[in-house]
Amino acid sequence: MTAIGLYQHPDCSRHDTGWGHPEHQGRLRAVMDALHEALPELQADVEPIVPDPATVETFEDVHTAEHVERVRSVCGEAETRDELIGLDADTIVSPASWSAALAAIGCGYAAIDAVSTGRHRAAFCAVRPPGHHATADRPMGFCLFNNIALAARRALERPDIDRVLIVDWDVHHGNGTQDIFYDRSDVFFVSMHQHPHYPGTGAATEIGRGEGEGYTRNIPQPPGLSPAAYVSALFEALDEVLATFHPDIVLISAGFDAGVDDPLGGFTLRPDDFAELTRGVIERTRSTARGRVVSFLEGGYNPEELGRNVVSHLFALRDATS
């Protein structure tokens, strides 16, 4: 067993939004460059894995057939015309975006399978496009499909996993993930995000609906607080959630746009703070999830800062799950 699985796929880097777009091809390159520099210290504990892409038959229950068809046909059109096409003002697809999306989701599936069967203690999916804004029926906010929601659904198919905790510390609210699980009690969604900010949702009053009431926890925060204030706000909320919800596995929407130098957010976190968040989530859930954590790259739009933060997150994943 290698401690940490690093799930990646070359197709994820081919998703092209144009260099003027914040979610550009250089992001993953920056992550891989930073990881390469950290390799001497990490290589005994981190295994890079390139899994098979997902197939759309597995999207049922998470995305509508109309949503899948719309994304597929616009990606196909981008391929035919060999140009970039906007699904909305900021969600762009290119000829390679369809295969990138399937590769990203395949990384999540393989990571869930490996962590839940004990091949790795934890996993990080270095993927794009990101996923947490994609709702059941709509791509938005740079996201085509909801990678983490699909992974959570995959985890729940396993006989030993009945409850999934999703922790989302991206600076933007994970509206898509919230939407997909809003009326369910087997997935608890906890999000800390800048508010008010894109996409506008994520007020503390949004707590779930029907059977899912009480299974969504939003922690809206202003920009510009100290890092310690953000860290303790998330931990206080998590402590309350975990008093009654006992997850079998933990998924993280790791948005590094909560970093201090990110152009798209006003949070102030530095590499050590992301490490503390990582350790805190793992320690708080260890008694039931037994350190089983699968983390997904979401935002992070200052490439150099993103690289540093991912490395810090991986070291913390390794150390906290050992």
Residue of 133, 193, 195, 313 marked catalytic: 133
Query: For residues 156 and 164, what is the distance between their CA atoms, to the nearest angstrom?
Result: 7
Query: For residues 219 and 192, what is the distance between their CA atoms, to the nearest angstrom?
Result: 5
Q: Return the SS3 of 83.
A: coil
What string marks each residue from 120 to 159 as x (binds Zn ion by CB under 5 A) or -?
----------------------------------------
Query: For residues 101 and 174, what is the distance between their CA atoms, to the nearest angstrom?
Result: 18
Q: Is 173 a catalytic residue?
A: no
Count the residues in the chain: 322
**Who contacts 154 (Cβ-Cβ below 8 Å, separation ≥6)?**
58, 108, 109, 112, 113
Rounded to a whole number of angstroms, the minimum distance from the CB of residue 319 to Zn ion is 26
Given candidates 202, 255, 271, 280, which one binds Zn ion under the rule CB under 5 A?
Answer: 255
Rounded to a whole number of angstroms, the minimum distance from the CB of residue 41 to Zn ion is 28
Given candidates 113, 206, 257, 273, which one binds Zn ion under the rule CB under 5 A?
Answer: 257
- Provide the greatest CA pair distance for the chain: 54
Span of 80-88, 109-117, 148-156, 171-179 interacting with Zn ion by CB under 5 A: 171-179
Query: For residues 202 and 197, what is the distance between their CA atoms, to the nearest angstrom?
Result: 9
Rounded to a whole number of angstroms, the minimum distance from the CB of residue 186 to Zn ion is 25
Given candidates 24, 67, 120, 172, which one binds Zn ion under the rule CB under 5 A?
Answer: 172
Which bin fits 220, alpha (ψ -120 to 50), beta or left (φ > 0)?
A: beta
Q: Phi and psi for 143 in degrees, rounded to 5?
A: -105, 135
Nearest CB to Zn ion, comparing residues 31 and 320: 31
By CB under 5 A, how many residues form the interface with Zn ion? 5
Rounded to a whole number of angstroms, the minimum distance from the CB of residue 177 to Zn ion is 12
Tell me: does residue 202 bind Zn ion (CB under 5 A). Answer: no
Name the DSSP letter for residue 44.
T
What string marks each residue from 285 to 314 as x (binds Zn ion by CB under 5 A) or -?
--------------x---------------
- Return residues touching Zn ion (CB under 5 A): 170, 172, 255, 257, 299
Residues recognised as catalytic: 133
